[in-house]
Amino acid sequence: MKEEDRSSVWDRFMEAKRHAFEEPEGEDAEPDAPRTLEELEAAIAKAAESSGIPETGMPPRASVHPSSRRNWSRWFYRALVVLFAALVSGLFWWGNQQ
């Protein structure tokens, strides 16, 4: 890769970044768009209220991502019982062979 290629890629990146962050002009510009954090929070609360989302915020993580701990522990104990039974039967078989 040439040095000129890197600079032109950097220039294109900077131009895209500048374009993304510049103020929208024309008819798609929103004059009452929130600009501060408080205005943004108020806009989010207003949108949540209109869509029926409760004001309490996000649901608990346990309800969104339920734990599979109980299922894994059940399989773990079953595997331990099977291994113990295999060990006992293997020792009996080995003892009878001797």
| pLDDT of residue 23 exceeding 70 | no
Residue 89: inside a domain, yes or no?
A: yes
Is 92 within the bounds of a domain?
Answer: yes
Residue 49 neighbours by CB distance under 10 Å: 11
| Residue 90 structural domain | 70-98
Number of domains comprising the chain: 1
Q: How far is CA 40 from CA 15, 34, 47, in A?
A: 27, 5, 11
Q: What's the average model confidence in pLDDT over 44-56?
A: 66
Residue 48 covered by a domain: no
pLDDT cut 70: percent of the chain above it:
58
Would you say residue 6 lies in a domain?
no
Please indicate, yes or no, whether the overall pTM of this predicted structure exceeds 0.75. no
